[in-house]
């Protein structure tokens, strides 16, 4: 692909003595949403964590804007313009919602209009602004995790299963939030099991299995080809 | 645009127990004081002992506050912390002995300047030591508790021996500056002036730490880092640098605690810090590892209990604190104010 914001080249990652990622190569096109799909345990989360520097790649390159960030510490990677919404959400439960948001805004207080936008999308965050985030419900924590990534402009968002445990009404809010990120010019690499959401958001897709990329292409191709889905992921995803 | 539904919480009145629960740890301090009042026959002795217990608690808190954050933030067990207490005491006392004119003068101002100089020198020395200690001794053993214990105990012993080299093997006696000697009488009880000062300094240190932790970005990073250091890094903060800062600040506080303890005991030895470590560890364990507020409450409880039992049954003073630790851990295995760790 000509303009990839992120490009993994033959990335291999070990966790302790286990080889988890074997030879992962794919591109994330700039300004687009790329869905990372695959069975449970395929290595999707590990891939996102490797990009963020939370696991160290044993081999290969992670090219971000043309620079290999594979050996860099996570804080430095974040400062280059990446943000992660981790699978476990990474909420600071002892801190208030407000403090969680304040931390997410690395370079200064959150702009008022941005905060307004976040509150409009996720009203519970406003309601519980001064409460310890640990008291939020699971779905509200997920909202906070996404809102945190939205606190500042980032170039690339790594988002791990944001719809997990969310009611359908909120999933649509999430879709809207992602679209607004994309609309602002950001690129997104997202793991998502909810196919309606994947379909609604994805421009491109990469499918993993057993620590390898087994297919890449456009979301439309994948969505329209049930046989391919069966073949790649062992399930066919009903097109909503 | 779609919106996530907002469920306005319907507030229900909490019952008494629910309302009190968050304050239970803090309420244990007056509870211990009340228990003391029950057992100690005279009110004036009780007041004297209470002030003395609070003073001791404050000093233990100052020594322990850094250590609890050092553990909370990077999971580092540092027995070398005791060395900072001793070095702080020796440096501070050396400064005090250098300015006999100021300490002997019957002037509050001059006395406080002398103590201030001693404190600054001690904190500078232990702060610098902290930088070196973190770099040379702690950094190579991140994540390995057994190695941390072995190598930091080694560091403690080496520094104690270095104190012998620089200051000689004998204990050094000192007297408090003129105006900090003696006691005032309040409600028939003799309250030593120095202990009152120590209570004041301890309170100031606690409130300052609380302010930094609650109301500054650095404080937020530290609190978040105690919970989930990985996420703090993923947000873009270099937690190792923050840790070095905390380590150095904690070391300097230990130095301050050392000077204060020296003036309290009026004698210093190279081993004083190592000996204090027992109480320091009890305090941070019952407080909840990583919790400055828990550490503060725990220190006051330990200080009070230590003084009451030393008065009533001298032989049980330390045992009583170990008993207190066991009771608290049976009630809350993670300490009074447990820090929720990610994973
Ligand atoms: N901390 C760890 N230690 C050991 N193995 C791990 C660890 N984390 C993940 N793995 C293993 O790595 C493999 C890939 O895990 P990963 O979390 O990346 O899968 P995933 O594709 O995100 O799955 P899911 O859809 O269930 O979230 C799994 O086999 C898992 O057991
Ligand atoms: Mg996963």
pLDDT in tens, B50-63: 999 999 999 999 99
Contact A149, A89 (CB under 8 A): no
Give Cβ neighbours of residue A66 (< 8 Å, ≥ 6 apart): none
CB of A165 closer than 6 angstroms to any ligand 1 atom = no
Query: What are the residue ranges spanned by the domains of chain B?
Result: 43-331
CA atoms within 13 A on the CB side of B189: 16
3-state helix, strand, coil in chain B (%, to 5): 75, 5, 20
Mean pLDDT within B295-322: 94
Mean pLDDT within B173-187: 93
Ligand 2 centre and the CA of A40: distance in Å? 7
What's the CATH number for A1-81+176-240?
A: 3.40.50.300
Indicate the SS3 state at residue B104. Answer: helix
pLDDT over 90 (residue B325): yes
Nearest C-alpha in A relative to B227: A92
CB of A18 closer than 6 angstroms to any ligand 1 atom = yes
Q: CA-to-CA distance for A40 and B46, rounded, in angstroms?
A: 65
Index of the ligand 1 atom closest to the CA of residue A208: 21
What pLDDT is stored for residue A17 in this prediction?
86
Q: Read out DSSP for A98-156?
A: HHHHHHH-TTSSPPHHHHHHHHHH-HHHHHTTTSBGGGS-HHHHHHHHHHHHTTS--SE
Degrees, nearest 5: CA angle B67-B28-B259: 35
Q: CA-to-CA distance for B64 and B299, rounded, in angstroms?
A: 8
Contact A33, A204 (CB under 8 A): yes
**Whole-number Cα distances in Å, B196 to A32, B190, B223:** 65, 11, 31
Measure A196 CA to nearest chain B CA, in Å: 16
Can you give the pTM of this predicted structure?
0.89
> B43-74 vs B24-39: helix axis angle to the nearest 10?
150
Give residue for tokens 């997990």. A164
What pLDDT is stored for residue B75 in this prediction?
86
For chain A, give every residue range classified as CATH 3.40.50.300.
1-81+176-240
Q: Nearest by CB to B237, which of A75, A102, A175?
A: A75
What's the CATH number for B43-331?
A: 1.10.3470
Mean pLDDT within B44-71: 96
pLDDT in tens, B110-138: 999 999 999 999 999 999 999 999 999 99
CB of A145 closer than 6 angstroms to any ligand 1 atom = no
pLDDT over 60 (residue B5): no
Q: CA-to-CA distance for A77 and A84, rounded, in angstroms?
A: 11
Q: ipTM score of the complex?
A: 0.91
Judged by CB atoms closer than 8 Å, whether chains meet at B221 and A103 is answered as yes
pLDDT in tens, A56-103: 999 999 999 999 999 899 999 999 999 999 999 999 999 999 999 999
Mean pLDDT within A193-211: 90
Of the pLDDT bands very low, low, confident and very high (cuts 50, 70, 90), residue A239 is very low
pLDDT in tens, A134-150: 999 888 999 999 999 98
Show which residues on chain A lie within 8 Å of chain B, measured between beta carbons: 52, 54, 73-76, 78-79, 83-84, 86, 88, 90, 92-95, 99, 102-104, 106, 120-124, 126-128, 134, 143, 148, 169-170, 172-173, 175-176
Query: Phi and psi of B252, rounded to 5°?
Result: -65, -40
Residue in A55, A82, A35, A83 with CA at minimum distance from that of residue A191: A35
Of the pLDDT bands very low, low, confident and very high (cuts 50, 70, 90), residue A108 is confident
Measure A197 CA to nearest chain B CA, in Å: 14
Mean pLDDT within A188-203: 90
């Amino acid at each position: 692909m000509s303009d990839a914001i992120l490009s993994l080249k033959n990335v291999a990652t070990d966790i302790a003595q286990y080889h988890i990622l074997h030879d992962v190569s794919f591109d994330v096109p700039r300004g687009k949403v790329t869905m990372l799909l695959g069975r449970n345990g395929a290595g999707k989360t590990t891939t996102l964590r490797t990009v963020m520097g939370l696991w160290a790649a044993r081999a290969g390159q992670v090219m971000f804007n043309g620079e290999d960030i594979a050996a860099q510490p996570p804080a430095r990677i974040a400062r280059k313009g990446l943000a992660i919404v981790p699978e476990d959400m990474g909420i600071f439960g002892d801190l208030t919602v407000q403090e969680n948001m304040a931390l997410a805004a690395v370079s200064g207080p959150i702009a008022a209009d941005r905060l307004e936008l976040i509150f409009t999308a996720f009203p519970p965050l406003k309601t519980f602004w001064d409460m310890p985030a640990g008291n939020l419900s699971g779905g509200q924590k997920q909202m906070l995790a996404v809102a945190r990534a939205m606190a500042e402009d980032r170039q690339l968002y790594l988002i791990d299963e944001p719809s997990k445990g969310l009611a359908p009404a909120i999933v649509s809010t999430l879709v809207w939030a992602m679209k607004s990120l994309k609309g602002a010019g950001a690129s997104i690499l997202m793991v998502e099991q909810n196919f309606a959401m994947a379909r609604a958001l994805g421009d491109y897709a990469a499918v993993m299995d057993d620590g390898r990329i087994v297919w890449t292409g456009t979301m439309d191709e994948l969505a329209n080809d049930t046989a391919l889905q069966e073949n790649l992921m062992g399930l066919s995803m009903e097109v909503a | 645009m779609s919106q996530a539904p907002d469920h306005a919480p319907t507030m229900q009145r909490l019952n008494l127990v629910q309302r009190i629960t968050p304050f239970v740890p803090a309420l244990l301090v007056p509870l211990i004081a009340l228990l003391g009042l029950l057992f100690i026959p005279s009110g004036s002795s009780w007041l004297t002992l209470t002030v003395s217990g609070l003073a001791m608690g404050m000093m233990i808190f100052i020594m322990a506050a850094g250590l609890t954050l050092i553990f909370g933030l990077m999971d580092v067990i540092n027995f070398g912390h005791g060395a900072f207490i001793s070095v702080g005491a020796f440096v501070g006392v050396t400064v005090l002995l250098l300015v006999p004119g100021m300490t002997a003068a019957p002037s509050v101002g001059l006395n406080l300047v002398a103590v201030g100089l001693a404190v600054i020198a001690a904190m500078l020395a232990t702060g610098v030591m902290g930088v070196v200690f973190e770099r040379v001794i702690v950094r190579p053993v991140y994540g390995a508790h057994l190695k941390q214990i072995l190598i930091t105990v080694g560091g403690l012993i080496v520094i104690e021996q270095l104190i012998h080299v620089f200051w000689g093997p004998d204990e050094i006696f000192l007297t408090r500056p003129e105006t900090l000697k003696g006691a005032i009488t309040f409600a028939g009880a003799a309250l030593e002036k120095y202990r009152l000062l120590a209570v004041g300094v301890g309170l100031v240190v606690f409130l300052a730490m609380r302010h930094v932790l609650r109301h500054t970005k650095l404080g937020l990073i530290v609190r978040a880092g105690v919970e989930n250091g990985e996420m703090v890094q993923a947000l873009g903060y270099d937690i190792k640098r923050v840790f070095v800062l905390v380590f150095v600040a904690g070391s300097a506080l230990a130095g301050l605690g050392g000077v204060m303890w020296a003036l309290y005991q009026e004698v210093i030895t190279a081993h004083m810090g190592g000996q204090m470590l027992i109480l320091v560890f009890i305090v941070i364990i019952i407080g909840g590892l990583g919790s400055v507020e828990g550490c503060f409450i725990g220190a006051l409880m330990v200080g009070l209990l230590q003084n009451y039992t030393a008065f009533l049954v001298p032989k049980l003073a330390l045992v009583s604190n170990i008993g207190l630790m066991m009771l608290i851990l049976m009630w809350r295995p993670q300490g009074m104010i447990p820090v929720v760790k990610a994973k």
